Amino acid sequence: MEPAEPVDRVRAPSPMKASKAFILFPRWGEGNRGRLSFSGDEEFRHYVLRSSVGFANPAMLRALILPLICFLFSFAAPLVTARPIVLVAFGDSTTALRKNLEVYGTLLERELPAKGIQAKVFNAGVGGNNTHDARLRFQTDVLNRNPDVVILQFGINDSAIDVWKQPPADQPRVPLKQYEINLRYFITVLKKRGVSVLVMTPNPLRWTPRLKELYDKAPYEPENPDGMNHLLKLYTETARKVARTEKVMLVDVAKAFESYAQNGRQSMDDLLLDGMHPNQQGHRLIAGLLSPRIVELSKKEPLGKTTAGKN
């Protein structure tokens, strides 16, 4: 290699042939402290920069390195644009908006930003709905919103046997097997679209005077404090099984409510508005279960990111 010329006398390189693309790669010459050589097209190999203080001239270095960085970034992956995640809470009246109550969906939208997640939460809870009803509105209420995350929360209305009717019903509104099929249908469609799914178990029920009037016949047991939950527990266990076999996250609200009541100074009644629907404390508990799960999902695969060409 030819001796390097002083920095203030470095010649401008001669024009390159149009057919020869080149990149200058900086490297420190072995055993040449204070020398910065550039390798690339053969025409430039003899240029070596050396400053009078033993280091590359900063102005010259910036002039060469900054264009190189811009050039390399032009070949980066397609632009990824952050946006608030779209979260749909899809369920029955225990999910639906309720007057004078901040339901878990509302709490999540307000509190997730403190955990680093901007979210737009759509509440798609409808009172009285079971999974059969939900399939009829799945496209409009869920898929058309192009969600990143969907919370599935059904079971209470599916398992209900309308013994208050005349003549009294003797079968659940949605048979257990069909409930499982419906849950798997939602999950399958969402996973194909790359949507993260959270399956919530239904909250347990407690007797109130009004519920005893309506459900005072078999298979319900009005004299048993847990007498409204015998059939519901089968649906709860099915939701757990579906989440496990479909490999989606489970948020076990039933277990959390039961654990709360195991404290001798607390009762499940503390979490319920009317024996069936969570009150403010109940929704606070549910939001507290969901929030870390959503954060966990965001760490596995960034949510709220879209790339060019993604639908």
Q: What would the two tokens of residue 280 be?
A: 């403010």
Q: Tell me: pLDDT of 295 over 60.
A: yes
pLDDT (average), residues 31-45 = 45
Q: CB neighbours (10 Å) of residue 243? A: 22
Q: Residue 68: what pLDDT?
A: 64
pLDDT (average), residues 149-169 = 97
Q: Tell me: pLDDT of 7 over 80.
A: no
Domains of the chain (ranges; CATH) run: 7-73 (no CATH), 82-301 (3.40.50.1110)
User: Checking phi first, is residue 161 left (phi over 0); if not, alpha (psi -120 to 50) or beta?
Assistant: beta
Q: Residue 206: what pLDDT?
A: 96
Contact (Cβ atoms closer than 8 angstroms) between residue 124 and residue 89? yes
Q: Any idea of the CA torsion for 228, 233, 236, 237, to the nearest 10 degrees?
A: 180
Q: What would the two tokens of residue 109 be?
A: 């939208």
Q: Residue 82: what pLDDT?
A: 61
Q: Residue 265: what pLDDT?
A: 80
Backbone angles phi, psi at 14, to 5 degrees: -75, 155
Contact (Cβ atoms closer than 8 angstroms) between residue 161 and residue 219? yes
Q: Residue 282: what pLDDT?
A: 98
Chain-wide mean pLDDT for the chain? 82
pLDDT (average), residues 28-56 = 45
Could you tell me the sign of the dihedral formed by the alpha carbons of 131, 137, 141, 145, in that order?
positive
pLDDT band at 298 (very low <50, low <70, confident <90, very high): confident
